[in-house]
Amino acid sequence: MKAGRVLPPQSSGDVDLLAPVSEVFDTLAATGMTPRGGAPALQVAVALSGGADSAMLAVHAALAAERFPFIALHCFHVHHGLQAEADAWARHAHRLAAGLGLPCHSLRVSVEANSGKGLEAAAREARYRGLEALASFTGVSHILLAHHRDDQTETVLMRLLRGTGPTGLAAMAPRTQRDGLVYLRPWLEVDRSHILAAARVYADQTGWAPVDDPTNVQDEYTRGAVRRRLVPVLNERWPAWRTILSRHARQARELSALLEEVAAEDFSRLDASYDHTSFSLLAWRSLTPQRQVLALRHWLALHHLRAPTEARMRELCRQLRQLHALGHDRSMRLKHDGCWIVCHRGRVSLKNDNDENR
């Protein structure tokens, strides 16, 4: 396969897929990074599964990066081992990267299917662990993710149905930080139809076609069920639903950012341990009920745990508020997202199962 060049397909409404990616690199350039001694000053990667979305992101990132000599671009492929075709997908991703003249690094990860989080969440956690390991190996500090508006609005819909509350509707942000890495999503405002159109153009030009993961539309997976059962009905009955939910996500992000500032400030006053695994119950109880909830959500988010449902959060707050004087709290023990929330000697702590069994 020869390296190809893809222009935004005119048949898809003149949507420019290259511009949002170039804007990301322009933002990085604005940080003042310049080449030193001829070597790139910034290592950036594209998370490449081999599907249409990530493949087109790799193609457009390769095009955009040509204007930025201080950026060294990589591709990262995380091999979950969940599908029989996974080995072939890894080879296919490497072929695309080679055609673009980019180094591709892959890593096989183990998915904890019995973690209690569900297979989708466990696979997502394993994927982030794999990306972190690859970034550590290569010196990458920024990773591009190919999430688009379809992904975003489906996430909003799933969180709405799960009852995660107003801040949960913020869904995915264009820029997030996790485990010391910066994750960038330049296509959150781009419909997937435009990406698929670009993928067809690229296939015609080069002969390289993206892989298709069947789990994307399988009922046993939550997102697959949403795509197979709900999305067709919404498209038919409410054709503007994606635009509406995307707007809700932006508004929720603005609200979430404000509340996060409040929560972070409150949590900083809770005498937290150096690793943020515990904090003072007495200090927490001095907050108003609403800010108690915000502080708890902030605490769990620091450890990459899912936001509790309203019922779970209400029960957690009830137990913490009912604890008596310091030292009379040994009965406090609540499981959430594979961890135990416990209280002992006036400290609210996170424990895993191994800690609990010691």
Among the listed residues 41, 108, 50, the one whose alpha carbon sits nearest the alpha carbon of residue 75: 50
pLDDT of residue 24: 94
> What is the Cα–Cα distance from 286 to 282, expressed in whole angstroms?
7
pLDDT of residue 9: 43
Alpha carbon separation from 290 to 161, 265, 332 (Å, rounded) = 22, 14, 21
pLDDT of residue 223: 79
> What is the Cα–Cα distance from 77 to 46, expressed in whole angstroms?
9
Among the listed residues 209, 207, 227, the one whose alpha carbon sits nearest the alpha carbon of residue 218: 227
Q: Retrieve residue 7's tokens.
A: 């222009």
pLDDT of residue 256: 85
pLDDT of residue 185: 97
pLDDT of residue 304: 84
pLDDT of residue 184: 97
> What is the Cα–Cα distance from 299 to 294, expressed in whole angstroms?
9
Q: For each of the domains in the chain, give its residue range(s) and CATH number, in order of start.
A: 10-234 (3.40.50.620), 268-356 (3.30.465)
pLDDT of residue 141: 93
195 close to 53: Cβ distance less than 8 angstroms: yes
Q: pLDDT digit of tens for each residue in the chain (358 aa)?
A: 344 444 444 334 457 899 999 999 999 888 755 555 555 678 999 999 999 999 999 999 999 999 888 889 999 999 876 676 788 889 999 999 999 999 999 998 877 766 656 677 788 888 999 999 999 999 999 999 999 999 999 888 888 887 777 777 888 889 998 888 999 999 999 999 999 999 998 998 888 989 886 666 556 677 778 888 888 999 899 999 999 988 988 898 888 889 999 999 999 999 999 999 999 999 999 999 999 999 999 999 899 888 788 888 999 999 898 875 444 556 678 888 888 999 988 899 998 865 554 4
